Amino acid sequence: MTTPRAGQSPLFARRELGVLLHPTSLFGSEDVGTLGRHAFAFVDWLEQAGATIWQILPLTPNGLHNSPYFSPSAFAGNPWLIDLDTLRQHGLLEGHAPEPVHGARVPFAELPDTKLPRLLAAAEAFLGMPRHPWWPAFRAFGEREAWLEYTAHFFALKEEHTGAPWWTWEPGLRERRPAAVARSRVALAHRIEVWEAVLFFFEQQWRALRAYANGKGIRVLGDLPIYVHHDSADVWRHPEQFRLGDDGRMTVQSGVPPDYFSATGQLWGNPIYDWNRMAPDGFSWWIARLRRCAALTDIVRIDHFRALSAYWEIPGDAQDARLGRWVPGPGQRFFDTVATHFPAMPFVAEDLGTLDESVLALRDHNGLFGMRILQFGFDGLPDNLHRPDVFPEGSIAYTGTHDNDTLRGWWESLDAGQRATVAAYYQFSPDDPSGKVVWSLIEAAVACRSRVAVIPSQDLLVLDTRARMNDPARFVGNWEWRLPPDGLSDELARSLRRLRDRYR
């Protein structure tokens, strides 16, 4: 079992059950899931099912390829999650709430034309109502969050430049020369304030939803992408923290070597941190980022944890990831600093991919739970760490993550021999119906020694590969899946609760 650092409380002191569902996937009356009444109903369903962990993806705005891992801000909340009906109830939008509708996919490309104008109109209305009950919280938000002003300024500048990346802007703004930034801030003052109001709406609604979940004994397991998007407010504001050329373009970029998902590796295209510059001031930018994520969620999953031990560095002009090399990351020095700011260390390590002993030592020395993925357990190798019989207690068991196919999709992709191997291991028939197979595998994840089991909602619903959230080998069609309107039934909650009770 993973051992906590001295003085550190166990993050999971008892066995717990969780469900993975990002809020954008919720059913509702808008084209995208929101933080409104259907999100509160989902929390009620989690309580009914006996789940005490709600795992989500990053809460930051969707960015390149609609991905929350390529966000234009590492600190802001996602405006698409703002519930319009809640804004109506608080006098910020006119009209009546539409009846619940359901599209099978989230039309992210349409939201800038359909939802954004209403969010901006609500922000304009709010700014014209200085006696609105939310104003004290809005002022406190601006005083508390140092990132807010430059992020809203960046969003306003992106509008002014019709979406062009910041490194193509005129030199004064690209290089953040004080006089040019000050002139722009004055010229765009009202638009900056409008964006601050929009970002505040997310804050207000998310904090209410999270408090509701916490009140029912449900903790939110959040997600911190290891990297940030090149065309983001954070890289524009803090270019010195990244490996960039004088023109703002990347000299090196992120990714991973060839692996299970891709024969040429994955070229992510994020800028690489300049860890040597970050260390002297105590990794202050990273500490601020961790503090922000920890303020929004109860537990933080650190995505691609292995990059903190060593990362795959790829030339900035490379067309795929094969030309990369391993470079040492900040390692234990980073976590020694983190521990001074977060004594309880409310972090989980996404310890997947190509690992070595140094990665495992970094995880274990800091008492972090890792992840085990049931779908990875059948490559035929005797030392496979992802077979449920060898899951350690200090880990979180998953049937799959947001990057995997659904359990049913994975099962149906196996050939006859592979099915026979899996079925023999779990003692069911390879000819059993998909529903029985999937729930047998869910039971295996719940029954294993891992202190925590998290099941994606698609697997609970026995959905096929069309419900997959993300395929890392492609850039289109990801992140769009939505929960069916009748998906979270009382019967499903009872079935999940029976499993929870059976395995304590």
d(CA 238, CA 5): 32
Let me know: does 243 contact 272? Beta carbons within 8 Å.
yes
d(CA 48, CA 212): 14
Give phi and psi for 56, each to the nearest 5.
-130, 175
Let me know: does 339 contact 3? Beta carbons within 8 Å.
no
Q: What is the DSSP string of 66-118?
A: G-TTS-S-SSS--GGGS-HHHHHHTTSS-S-PPPPB--SB--GGGHHHHTHHH
Name which of 113, 91, 72, 88 is nearest 34 in CA terms: 88
Catalytic site positions: 303, 350, 403
d(CA 30, CA 100): 7
Which residues lie below 8 Å from residue 293, measured CB to CB, with a gap of 6+?
A: 222, 224, 300
Q: Residues 293, 295, 298, 301: what is their CA dihedral angle, to the nearest 10 degrees?
A: 10
Strand, helix or coil for residue 313 = strand
Structure tokens of 387? 């077979």
Which residues lie below 8 Å from residue 320, measured CB to CB, with a gap of 6+?
A: 264, 265, 267
Q: Residues 366, 369, 374, 377: what is their CA dihedral angle, to the nearest 10 degrees?
A: 20
Structure tokens of 116? 């954004």
* Strand intervals (E) in 153-229: 219-224
- Token match 């993925």: residue? 373
Hey, what amino acid is at 406? T
Strand, helix or coil for residue 273 = strand
